[in-house]
Amino acid sequence: MGIADDIQATVSSLPPRDSVRTDAATGFLGRPAFIERLRDAVVSARRANDRLAVFVFGLDRFRLVNERWGHLAGDSVLREVALRLRRTLRGTDALTRLGGDQFAALTPGVPNAEGAESVARKVLDALREPFSVNGESFSTTASVGIALFPEHGMDEHRLIRAADWALNDAKRRGRDAVRIYSNALGDARDGAIDLEHDLRVGMNRSELELRYQPVHDLDSGRIDSVETLVRWRHPQLGLLPPDRFIPMAEETGLVRTLGERVLEGACAQLARWRRQGLDLAGVSVNLSARDFDRSDFVDFVTDTLARHALSPDSLEIEVTEHSFFDDPEAAARAAELRACGVRLSIDDFGTKYSSLSYLQRLPVNTIKVDRSFVRDVGYSTSSESIVAAVIALASGMGLRLIAEGVEEIDQVRCLRRLGCHMMQGFLFSRPLPADDAFRYLARAARA
Ligand code: C2E
Ligand code: MG
Ligand code: MG
């Protein structure tokens, strides 16, 4: 029996109200009380023309806790999960335990799917921290299904069912994932959606969309550049973030065509912005190591730049630090591009192998400190030490340093104190569609 049916059954056999208001294990609303809250929230949202998001969370390896340490330990993990959910979500968000290791949350006023997804990711991050069980450390990931009012259901039962389906789909696709319900999910569950086929076709139907996130230079007060980030508008599944399709594209080799499209789109956009009078030094694009596989890659990049009358140093190519370890040819091509004047940046620095000799072998221009360190500056001395060390490294080697994922003003203060002045992140701007980015850049130039 699915959770939705389960809830339906619960609701129709409601015990007296007070005994169902809270769940003993977590102190959260009991299920019936949660459903009631959801029903009220739907009514208010409909009246105010507002949106709601319903989340269903499941721990990916909870069964293991019960099997290894017994149910009492399982309950203590659930209590800790409850605490973390409470801390991560706003006080006004309603929470319940649907049963077993599944929790649901209701957050009013979420502006759109991307907003809901970022709430979900915060929760996933919070649940990724190890749990202490009987003195041992236990780590797990979680998955989330999301349904939005009004698009995925007009009443409380449909919304929960939709979020539950989305959760099952997330688990089916390999866990540690966020899924937003879509009306085609029923089909997807039967394997009717073939992402590889769809991407092959979709790239030719202009389903790829580019977003641009500004990088601020707080010393000069100007915008240094913008980072190009790809999205895929899937006809049934809606707007997909890169982590939903880049791994598949890398596996299947489709990433090369994708990289070409992104590079072409970003260069065309920069040229257009400059024609519109924007004084923007450059754009960066993210490429996978596999993009460097083709023997004519250097020509492709330089031709694209020439076609748009852009100087090579208007383009920065971001690669993650581990991309080149296994492939000397790719590293040679990267060096060749550098020799042509194209800029290179190491993305997500510090998260993988971080071989420092690599910085010596590859003539990179920029290091991007990963969000996972930036997130904790000001809170964790170890993250702060790592950031300080990377800043010292960059400055010693004459490299630019960009901190990614800056969300709070305290992080800005702390980063500045440590000596970092280039930053990007939601605090300044989310990745924006080209028109919005143009307005943002134009306004920043006037300020
Ligand atoms: P990345 O290059 O490290 O990009 C930064 C990611 O962090 C982006 O996610 C961005 O939306 C997100 N972000 C930026 N500021 C903040 C913030 O303040 N808080 C939080 N929580 N997140 C922030 P996105 O767009 O989902 O991209 C994810 C990754 O997908 C990128 O990580 C990049 O590695 C890859 N990617 C994006 N576009 C492309 C592409 O065209 N080709 C390839 N091969 N990979 C791409
Ligand atoms: Mg990047
Ligand atoms: Mg990054």
CB of 260 sitting under 6 A from ligand 1:
no
pLDDT tens figures, 86-103? 999 988 889 999 888 889
> Is the pLDDT confidence value at 8 over 50?
no
Tell the residue nearest (CA) to atom 13 of ligand 1. 405
Q: Which comes out higher in pLDDT, residue 252 or 34?
A: 34
229 Cα–ligand 1 center, Å = 6
CB of 169 sitting under 6 A from ligand 1:
no
CB of 241 sitting under 6 A from ligand 1:
yes
The predicted structure's pLDDT at residue 49: 87
Question: Phi-psi region for residue 305, left (φ > 0), alpha (ψ -120 to 50) or beta?
Answer: alpha
Please, which pLDDT band fits residue 38 given cuts at 50, 70 and 90?
very high
State the Cα–Cα distance between residues 283 and 398, nearest whole angstrom: 20
232 CB burial (10 A radius; 0-12, 13-18, 19+): buried
> Mean pLDDT, the chain, as a whole number?
86
CB 129 within 8 A of CB 375: no
Mean pLDDT confidence for 18-39: 79
Of all residues in the chain, the percent with pLDDT exceeding 70 is 91
- The ligand with the least distance to the CA atom of 212 is 1
Q: Which residues surround ligand 3, an ion (CB under 5 A)?
A: 347-348, 404
> Is the pLDDT confidence value at 248 over 90?
no
The predicted structure's pLDDT at residue 108: 87
63 Cα–ligand 3 center, Å = 33
CB 104 within 8 A of CB 53: no
- Among 83-87, 161-165, 381-385, 430-434, top mean pLDDT goes to 430-434
The predicted structure's pLDDT at residue 322: 64
Mean pLDDT confidence for 388-396: 93
The predicted structure's pLDDT at residue 184: 65
> Is the pLDDT confidence value at 377 over 70?
yes
> Is the pLDDT confidence value at 288 over 90?
no
Please, which pLDDT band fits residue 5 given cuts at 50, 70 and 90?
very low
The predicted structure's pLDDT at residue 186: 52
Of all residues in the chain, the percent with pLDDT exceeding 90 is 53
Tell the residue nearest (CA) to atom 6 of ligand 1. 405
58 Cα–ligand 3 center, Å = 27
**Which positions ≥6 away from 317 have C-beta within 8 Å?**
284, 285, 287, 301, 334, 337, 342, 343, 344, 345
272 Cα–ligand 3 center, Å = 26
pLDDT tens figures, 167-206? 988 877 767 889 999 866 655 544 556 788 899 999 988 9
